[in-house]
Amino acid sequence: MDFVTAELIEMKLKIFVSCAKGLQYALEQELISLGVGQTHAIPGGVGCEVTIRDCYRILLWSRIASRVILNLCNEKVSSVDDIYDVAKAINWSDHFTVDDSFAIRFVGTNAFVRNSTFGGLKVKDGIVDRFRELSGRRPDISKESPNISLHAHLAKGRLSLGIDLSGEGLHKRHYRTEKGAAPLRENLAAGILQLSGWPHKISPAGSLCDPMCGSGTFLIEAAQMMLNYAPGLKREHWGFDHWRGHQPAIWEEVMQEALEKHQSACRSVKRKIVGFDQDPKVIAKAWSNIERAGFQDYIHVEKRQLSDFECFEGLNEGLLIVNPPYGERLGEIDSLGPLYKQLGQVFEQFLIGWKAAVLTGHEQLGRQIGWRSHKQYKLLNGPIESLLLLFELKEQNRFKSEWMSPEQRLSNPLHWRVSHSQRADMFANRLKKNTKVLGKWLRKQEISCYRLYDADMPEYAIAIDVYQDLDGQINLHVQEYAAPDSVDEKSAVERLSEALAVIRDTLSVPAGQIVLKSRMAQKGKGQYSKRDESREFKQVQEGPALFWVNLKDYLDTGLFLDHRSMRRWMFDNADGARVLNLFCYTASVTVYAALGGARSSLSLDMSATYLRWAKRNYELNDVDEARHTLRRVDCTQWLREEGDEHGFDIIFLDPPSFSNSKNMDGVLDIQRDHEELIELSMRKLSANGVLIFSNNLRKFKLASELKKRYQVEDWSRRSLDKDFERNSRIHHCWSIRRLNSE
């Protein structure tokens, strides 16, 4: 390159070395070992000042880094014009020529930069205008193979611009074209190996074994570390190839130094690296990757199930490292428990004296191993929050009894017990008092499904709903509210176990008729996904209507008890009306409308599961489906499309607080979107009609503009029956009419 100065060789370059979140401190230690002096670790990477030689060493040797960014500026910006000005102010010709193509990776948004593409365009405009003013020409943009890759980061009102000296991500070692089902990034695998102590904290002759090796990433990264092989040695293209500050002579020296270190290490290696996998096709992929990396003389792989694990002769005490399957859904996680238990048995039978490292996406699965981990690290494996568990495999670290998850413990009535008798007595007295206070009212109103308790005492943050079926059997639906972070898991489980024991004994309900659920925010498929497979539906009666409920299989039971008074209102006011029920769930409100004499109704929901449930409720109450229609749609999209459905006399709008279901076009956030939903719904309303708008977001605030445009009346208090008066914020409810309507 023609841009070479003695000053540049010795000057300090400010760089940012990025990595997976959770590995920043391991990366910092790695950089220190490479001779970097001044470092500052933050989530996602390490900032430092280095010479050009140190920078080359990081690029060539870092096993953990994702990218190396040469920082050119970090400026405060408060407008789109500021972004342009900052980009234009840099003397880009010091770093590349007008004949070089470039690309920009822009990260971050704010109030005036709503998407990264727009931010990148403003930076690009500043750069090309700078070149155009100097030379009358501008460099080209190349997204596929740019000569120069630029990095822009917008955060907390500041814009950072830099040159990506890596080019493509440093995790790409070019040995892995054959991947398993869930490949681990190479630099994450290397970071895990470093945290696990490989190879420096393992005895000089110690071995490494991965019993679920997949495509062999752990094995190959471990071999690179064992053989002192710089992971960038085989890379042909770098982000600094066209950078005008590149010093080819220094780069060649750093490369030659790396080759000599590798050759020296190969002459003294004494370790064995072994991998197993139960799938022969996966083993074939691993072997192809190993050969491509050039480590076939140092790694052995073969088809072998975990149940057939054994230590070969010469496989000395060392490190077992494994990334078992995680499972994403509840049922999958439960089914993986035996595999993790088997791993713990392998530890006990073959690996006493070894060290072990297990990466898992679920702490619950890690506990199934049955060994006490001495260190834990939280890491991001792609988008998955994962946990690295490190074990010293000594007899005293084996759990004496089989570990049980809180769910397993609480689902077994044998583990329900009172730990604090005075506290339990207070809870029992509260249940008796509530039963007495509600008793007369329940009998008078002929209510058989109701809320008995709703976190009345802070020690027991649960809700208890009573469901009496048509056979007279009492069933209890107990919902646990998520405990605050200040309450440790052991205490929370202890109190819940105690609550279940008191509920059973005080209310004289058999344990088999008590269903426990955790009441936490559900998103996407979680709103509709099954939690159990009991298929145990019961018929219950509420006033003139019959409903199917299921207490076990879903988060909710099919009948929102807090809407009882609104169902009664619908029955009293629906005679002759056209009714629209949006986000209808199991259509209990529509059933009341039909029984109250509604002329017709349209009930909409995007869940096929709940619409099937609604159809069963219709059949149970002899609702005429020719006049009362169920339709599967995205309600928001349906409202926007302004179909032919107009002139509804009553509209019931009760959307979820949040939804990002795969069936939706976009994301629903009720606080953000309610004004639009109400406006669209009002267009469907007849001149003198009424919209009933309800939601259960605790901190919800109705847009003040709606009160100026419509006749709005807060019905939140009047919409709650006696059993919900203790929790006045369980839902919000308004009636909304056109101004001057009757």
- For residue 355 the two structure tokens come to 């060290």
pLDDT at 731 exceeding the cut of 90? yes
Query: Tell me, which fold does domain 186-227+269-403 have in CATH?
Result: Rossmann fold (3.40.50)
- For residue 606 the two structure tokens come to 């995007």
Of 466, 552, 446, 471, the C-alpha closest to 506 is 466
Residue 182: what pLDDT? 61
Give residue limits of the domains in the chain: 6-164, 186-227+269-403, 558-738
Residue 741: what pLDDT? 61
Of 238, 261, 270, the C-alpha closest to 251 is 238
pLDDT at 659 exceeding the cut of 90? no
Residue 641: what pLDDT? 82
Q: Do 186-227+269-403 and 558-738 show the same overall fold? A: yes
Residue 524: what pLDDT? 39
Residue 522: what pLDDT? 40
Q: pLDDT, tens digit, for every residue of 624-642?
A: 999 999 999 999 999 988 6
Count Cβ atoms below 10 Å from residue 726 Cβ, excluding itself: 14
Q: Give the pLDDT band (50/70/90) at residue 270.
A: confident
Comparing 106-115, 197-206, 221-230, 485-494, which segment has the lowest mean pLDDT?
Answer: 485-494
Q: What residue ranges in 382-438 does DSSP mark as E strands?
A: 384-392
Residue 525: what pLDDT? 39
CA distances 396 to 139, 353, 391, Å, are 66, 11, 12
Q: Give the pLDDT band (50/70/90) at residue 142.
A: very high
Average model confidence (pLDDT) across the chain = 91
Residue 301: what pLDDT? 97
CA distances 453 to 36, 399, 548, 733, Å, are 61, 38, 23, 22
Mean pLDDT, to the nearest integer, of 35-41?
92
* pTM score: 0.66
Q: pLDDT, tens digit, for every residue of 324-336?
A: 998 754 456 678 8
Q: How far is CA 6 from the centre of its chain?
A: 50
CA distances 408 to 186, 226, 496, 513, 547, Å, are 36, 43, 13, 17, 31
Q: pLDDT, tens digit, for every residue of 455-478?
A: 999 899 999 999 999 999 999 999
Architecture in CATH for domain 558-738: 3-Layer(aba) Sandwich (3.40)
Please give the residue that has the higher pLDDT: either 539 or 483: 539
- In the CATH scheme, what is the code of domain 6-164? 3.30.2130.30
Please give the residue that has the higher pLDDT: either 109 or 737: 737
Count Cβ atoms below 10 Å from residue 488 Cβ, excluding itself: 10
Please give the residue that has the higher pLDDT: either 406 or 413: 413
